[in-house]
Amino acid sequence: MIKFALPTGALRRPTAAFLENTGVQIPGYAAGSRSYRLQADGHEALQIRVFREQDIPIQIALGNYDLGICHLAWVEELAQRYPSDSVVKICKLSFGQSCLFAAVAAKSTTKEWSADRRLRVLSEYPNLAEAFAMAARLGYHRILPIWGAAEVYPPEDADIVVVAATDEEEVRSKGLEPIFPLLKASAYLIANRNSLGTKNLGGILAALTTSDTWGRERLRLPRAGEVTLPDPGPTIEKRRPSVRLALPDGHQQPHAIAVLKAAGLSFEGYMEAPSSARPASDDPEVEVKVIRPQDMPQQVALGNFDLAVTGRDWLLDHLRRFPSSPIEEVADLGYGRYTIAAVVSNESPAQTPEEALTLWRQQGKRIIRIASEYANLADDYARGKHFGHYQVIPITGASEGFVPEDADILIEGTETGKTIAENDLRIIDVLFSSTTCLVAQKGRLQTDPEGPLARIASQLATGALMTSGASS
């Protein structure tokens, strides 16, 4: 059996087209099937699993999969933290071309509101960002890992970002100025080194590699003195708005729009498609940015935002890791109800986590493997259920593809349970129900109960109560 890890997301369709051209057809893959376990026509010995790109190099390195396809940037991101030769770059592929750039805000590189002079380097590629900062001798700096949308943070909330783009013009179109090209690459076929030596991969490798795919694309790090930050020019005093509000993108955006409308708030560029990362506010006291809900608790805790509309699941995951974090929920907005649950394979006869634990011990499992996007919630759950020896596997999505082969249990969020069922899984325990909520730094609303911050929070809470989502 050859285990092949394929990407979901933006690389899914071009990967499917490439595989079809090489004679490997996978029904349902290009169409975005909810099932993450697929079968290739005429290749019974090929076991297909679908993952987020970020997770594929990790699965290859662990030896859970023999072959995988992902962008080279994610291979280099893993290698910066865990340098080893377990992941072999077989060849570059003819699709998925993009670049990684270090960039700053186009108009300013100064920290307009921060009290210290520590450079804030922010990216969803935190290991590559750290490698860049060290090689460039940036000096006093802090790396801030995020889930995405790095381009919206400078200059107020980051000084330097490491972002993916097709070219320098795309970087500039995001309001940034590239200062160093780290990587120009494409999708890659990668393999586990041990699998190359112990499994017969010759047939599938012959089908997937062609003469025009051979080549080497390498990460380039700056030499000392090679990176010079642009002169920001004269310092311009800018008053910090009374309220900095973070609004979510993705599947939480429609819920946030409903609450805003009910609250009588409208931010041009957010309420319509395509939305802007910096919606305009008619209220001079309010400034709005659109960021990932996963990143909001950290950003509010750091003081970068005063209010944020996020999910209770991400707030609680943050608090499990940082129990004394200065952040709290100030209103349940009621939308986007989401069940956070423990999930196992339908093959398991266990009906409760206690039964599952007994079964695993009878099977002689020394370590219980727990996969989750909510790594801190998963860790807290395992300790609370007295799992004993366990391993939390942090992942970035497509969670249902991990159980039972690569994890024993999954801590997962679901709205309808449909994707769980389609991957032959089922819920054995419910942790809590998550909804969209409003968060703020602890005690901030009480310091000025008549001020703009309390007013905006009250409007949002009242708007939520006026809608059917809060009463359902």
pLDDT digits (tens, 9 = 90+) for 166-203: 999 999 999 999 999 999 999 999 999 999 999 999 88
323 and 447 assigned to the same domain = yes
Rounded to 5, what percent of the chain is helix, strand, coil? 30, 30, 40
Domain assignment of residue 111, yes or no: yes
- pLDDT for 255-307, tens place per residue? 888 888 888 888 999 988 778 999 999 888 899 999 999 999 999 999 999 99
If one counts the domains in the chain, the total is: 4
| Rounded CA separation 447/67 (Å) | 56
Residue 228 lies in a domain: no
Q: What is the pLDDT of residues 299-357, one digit of tens each?
A: 999 999 999 999 999 999 999 999 999 999 999 998 888 899 999 999 999 999 999 99
Domain check: are 190 and 311 in the same one?
no
Q: 257: domain CATH number?
A: 3.40.190.10
Is the confidence at residue 405, as pLDDT, over 80? yes
Q: Is the pLDDT score of 110 beyond 70?
A: no
**What's the predicted TM-score (pTM) here?**
0.91
Residue 80 and residue 190 share a domain = yes
Which residues are within 8 A (CB) of 213 and not within 5 positions of it... i.e. 6 or more apart? 91, 92, 93, 94, 189
* Residue among 331, 296, 283 at smallest CA distance from 437: 331
Residues 147 and 209 in one domain: no
Cβ atoms of 407 and 392 within 8 Å: the answer is no
Q: Are residues 430 and 343 in the same domain?
A: yes
Answer for the pair 255, 335: CB distance below 8 angstroms, yes or no: yes
Tokens of 98: 């993009």
Q: What are the tens digits of pLDDT across the range 208-260?
A: 886 555 456 889 999 988 988 876 555 555 677 889 999 998 888 888 888 88
Residue 275 and residue 288 share a domain? yes
60 shares a domain with 142: no
Position 59 pLDDT exceeds 90: yes
HSE of 81, CA atoms in CB hemisphere, 13 A: 13
Tell me, what's the pLDDT at 108?
Answer: 54
Q: Which domain holds residue 200?
A: 2-95+186-213
233 located within any domain:
no
Q: How many CB atoms lie within 10 A of CB 119?
A: 19
Residues 342 and 430 in one domain: yes
Do residues 447 and 318 both lie within one domain? yes
Residues 179 and 190 in one domain: no
In a domain, 224, yes or no: no
* DSSP bridge pairs for 440: 307, 328
Looking at residue 109, what is its pLDDT? 43
- Tokens 């899914």 map to which residue? 12
Query: Is the domain of 252 the same as that of 382?
Result: no
In a domain, residue 90? The reply is yes
Q: For residue 160, is it within any domain?
A: yes
Task: Summarize the confidence of residues 37-41 as an average pLDDT.
Answer: 89
Does a structural domain hold residue 274?
A: yes
89 lies in the same domain as 200: yes
pLDDT given for residue 115 in this prediction: 43
What is the mean pLDDT of the segment spanning 420-430? 94
Domain assignment of residue 411, yes or no: yes
